Structure 1
């Protein structure tokens, strides 16, 4: 188990230059946009504009702060709120982002199509829970403000926007304990 405290997340410019992202983790470590296998990040969106295109990557997005984020392309519109399900889309999709109610903070996962696959689940929980997972890697991200304790190969306490990374060698079941909390679970599978 590897604790990823939010104070350690580096800030990177968006690929299209229109904003900044806080990178939670990228694999392989140090990889750039063109050679990453998977990545988790969060981005503050302060103004409307185009989303960056990421050829060959599949993406999932959920809103963790702010009222709403609308993503438009030629064929569809998605509106995300902190309570709406996440959306999954090919990285090549040319979305324009609109923030009708002011700035938002999103959580983004991407994986290299054909090499890795990811799933994103959002869980609003209370008390003590055992979480089972199937992928090769599990990333737990705390979206809410109250601390949560994770018990696996050792114990980690997460604060808001902290994450913990686990592999199959660490544990297949993790126990999480806290008051009311909002966790984002990302399972990543190696398809090679």
Structure 2
């Protein structure tokens, strides 16, 4: 049976990158900015409530192993032009900018040979709660986005500073969180990352 996430009333929420507070990693190798998340109310991962899903942006300052997250599926999209260089289950894996790599949270993963300041967008989903998808898409003049049937949430992250939402300029890293059936209309020309979470059935 799918676990229930704890969250507030449905809404379309604009979350500015400038308002987020980076949290330093315990190993000192980087920081994480939480973009949006929901939690199950169960204790796990050594950090209080276990996540149902989380979208975050990480800045990697030096090579280091990734934290282990049992029962969590992860998707990672490099945001900087050089991409990111990983060791994934013992094999080297180069991931280009805006490509996506998926791996289980139990996997042995480390960043290697990355220049300080490498950034990546992350989607983490408790596999008992559901599944996720992370893709890059484009806005050419105007584009309508909405949560589709079966989707728990859609988080849209601006990948460039050339888009507008409700007349407001979006900066790179700004995010729009859609967890009800309202429509989001973006205008301008540029790309976004779309992180979607689908709740498990049964």
What CA distance in whole angstroms lies between the structure 1 residues aligned with 2:37 and 2:168?
A: 21
**Secondary structure at 1:7 match in 2:** helix
Q: Quote the residue 1:77 is aligned against.
A: 92
Q: What TM-score do you get using the length of structure 1 for normalisation?
A: 0.83
Unaligned runs of 5+ in 1: none
Contact 1:16 1:51 in 2 (8 A): no
What CA distance in whole angstroms lies between the structure 2 residues aligned with 1:115 and 1:142?
A: 26
1:110-189 matches, within 5 Å, as 110-131=124-145, 133-134=147-148, 135-146=151-162, 148-150=163-165, 157-171=169-183, 174-179=184-189, 181-189=190-198
Contact 1:67 1:82 in 2 (8 A): yes
What CA distance in whole angstroms lies between the structure 2 residues aligned with 1:104 and 1:72?
A: 16
Say how many residue pairs are matched.
Answer: 184
Unaligned runs of 5+ in 2: 1-11
Match of 1:40 among 55, 66, 75: 55
Give the Å deviation of 1:42. 0.8
Give the Å deviation of 1:167. 1.7
Q: For 1:25-71, what per-residue CA distance to the aligned partner results, in whole angstroms no more than 9, with x for missing partners?
A: 22139994761111111111121121111111111000112413111
Match of 2:104 among 83, 90, 107: 90
Q: RMSD value over aligned CA atoms?
A: 2.5
Match of 2:122 among 108, 116, 124: 108
Q: What TM-score do you get using the length of structure 2 for normalisation?
A: 0.79
What CA distance in whole angstroms lies between the structure 1 residues aligned with 2:40 and 2:19?
A: 14
Give the Å deviation of 1:101. 5.1
